[in-house]
A and B are shown apart, each in its own frame.
Chain A
Amino acid sequence: MSKPLMVDARAVRKSFGLNEVLKGITLQVEQGQVLCLLGPSGSGKSTFLRCINHLETINGGRLYVEGELMGFREGADAIYEMKPNAIAKQRSEIGMVFQRFNLFPHLTAIENVIEAPIGVKKLSKADATKKALELLASVGLSDKADHYPSQLSGGQQQRVAIARALAMEPKLMLFDEPTSALDPELVGDVLDVMRNLAKSGMTMIVVTHEIGFAREVADRVVFMDSGVVVEEGTPAQVLDNPQNQRTKAFISSVL
């Protein structure tokens, strides 16, 4: 008997106009698992990630997080769109880290971290601040709490963004190419934080080009191309002994 499923995607389809970006993605992620999504740009991996927390509305299939359908309510004969506050509630339990950090520039690092716990979870400012300081310490940025994002390096901003997502105590973390916008020497610190998070048992889905990170941290690797899952398995299977021609070509190009 395997662990309960955190994410259960069944034949998920997504189109932008006539352009079908996801052509039936079926994918399961167990609780506590780290899944790395690889693939060339335009393969649909970021779109799939954004479908999981309903930043994009899917056009076909079903997508469940912890057994709950995302963004919709299943009735007897139809599915219904959810109300915005119900969707917001679902999203608040899923953390997301963006390629371009998307920190709030008008707030300091600590204000970035406490904004949602106070505004959404209704924590008191004292409790939220205490928690936020712990989180900033855990990403190695205790001394930067009162800095504005513009005063931080890209790597530091991304670590604040991770702390901000963790402050909502999510059950699942989504990473959308978290190191792609960073200078090479700053990538390591962010990956260290993610490595520790994986060790702590967090369920994570990571869209990345860092093959080394995938090999070391991922429980499973999924290779996507043109909106379909081409190959999946353990890092050893997919990265070291790919079966599919497209996977082989991609891995040799990024290594």
Chain B
Amino acid sequence: MANQLGKDDVVAVPLRHPWRWVSAVILVVLLGLFVYSLWASPNINHDVISKYIFNGKVIAAAGLTVTLTVVSMIIGTILAIALAIMRLSKNPVLKIVSTGYVGFFRGTPLLLQIVFWGYLGIIYPTIDIGIPFTDMIWWSEKTSLVFTSIIAGIIALSLNEAAYAAEIVRAGILSVDAGQAEAAKSLGMSSGYTLRKIVLPQAMRVIIPPMGNEFISMLKNTSLLQVVAVMELYARTSQISSQNLAQVELLVVAGFWYLVMTTVLSFPQSYLEKKYGRGFSVATQKSRWLRIGSKGNV
């Protein structure tokens, strides 16, 4: 609040900060020089960049990258919720299996896991469905036909993601006050209903920011699927550059699309944060201001 009795009487000459100006100018000049050097370099062919940036094959590959990300993320998250619940259950076997799973998949490099799933056919040449240890087989198929490179890639990414996301989900569930589940119990709610309606919605508030990180990591990690010959964005651009030898130009093309995708995929996060933040202090204050703005709705 301004001084009610009279005018503001502190009208001081602001302190000068010459070093702020000096450091800002130096930084801008250096950045400018760097961009200019790239732009003016005779070794970077701008025509190649503009030729491929909206190339149909490149855009299709970017689409595949998005699909791989979304599908792996959905499967990974569902598995993660199951793993987190197993870890928090009273059953010691479920607990140990879940802990072991997380330890194993976090403890080995993702690249190794991807290559492993690509080689699955060496360990199991055929996939059979039937009764174990008998001759009863109802269905059999060559592994390489079932586990195409895309399927193998999705399995590798989702199983790996589940391990990381399980810890995030577990942290989210643990962040919800024990009194919440107790109040739900006292009202006669079953444990499943309590988890779905009371605990998880509150856990989401804690889960979503790190899951946004995971989503972006996943999007970039799809580029590792190049090693099992999935034609996602990075594999496609490096395939093109291996033919026209314009490596840097196609890296620029790939980098541009990765940036576009990570930026666009960040929007759902802020929406979800708002949705699950309802009732919690910051978001509540905001909605209170919105209510003042639209008086008719109160």
Which residues of A line the B interface, CB within 8 A? 53, 55, 84-85, 88-89, 91-96, 98, 100, 102-108, 115-116, 119-120, 148-151, 161, 164-165, 168
Contact = CB atoms under 8 A, between A and B. Distances in A.
Nearest to B178: A102
B15 interface: no
Given A102-B180, A106-B278, A148 B284 contact: yes
Contacts of A161: 183
Given A105-B202, A115-B197, A120-B189, A55 B182 contact: yes
B17 interface: no
Nearest to B205: A106
A151 B278 CA distance: 11
Contact of A88 (B190, B201, B202, B278): B190
Q: Which of A85, A94, A100, A119 has the most CB of B within 10 A?
A: A119
9 contacts: A84-B190, A85-B190, A93-B188, A106-B280, A115-B198, A116-B184, A119-B189, A119-B193, A165-B186
Interface residues of B, number: 26
A98 B191 CA distance: 19
Given A150-B279, A150-B280, A151-B288, A104 B187 contact: no
Given A88-B185, A150-B279, A150-B281, A102 B179 contact: yes
A106 B201 contact: yes
Given A96-B186, A104-B180, A84 B191 contact: yes
A119 B177 CA distance: 21
Interface of B is mostly: helix
A172 B186 CA distance: 12
Interface string B88-129: 000000000000000000000000000000000000000000
Nearest to B277: A106
Nearest to A112: B183
A91 B187 contact: yes
Contacts of A165: 186-187
Given A88-B189, A102-B179, A161-B183, 10 more contacts: A55-B185, A84-B190, A85-B190, A88-B188, A100-B179, A115-B197, A116-B187, A120-B189, A149-B279, A168-B188
B219 to A, nearest CB: 29
B194 to A, nearest CB: 9
A164 B189 CA distance: 13
Given A88-B188, A91-B188, A119-B197, A150 B284 contact: yes
B198 A104 contact: yes
A105 B280 contact: yes
Contacts of B179: 98, 100, 102
B276 interface: yes
Contact of B188 (A55, A100, A102, A116): A116
Contacts of A92: 187-188
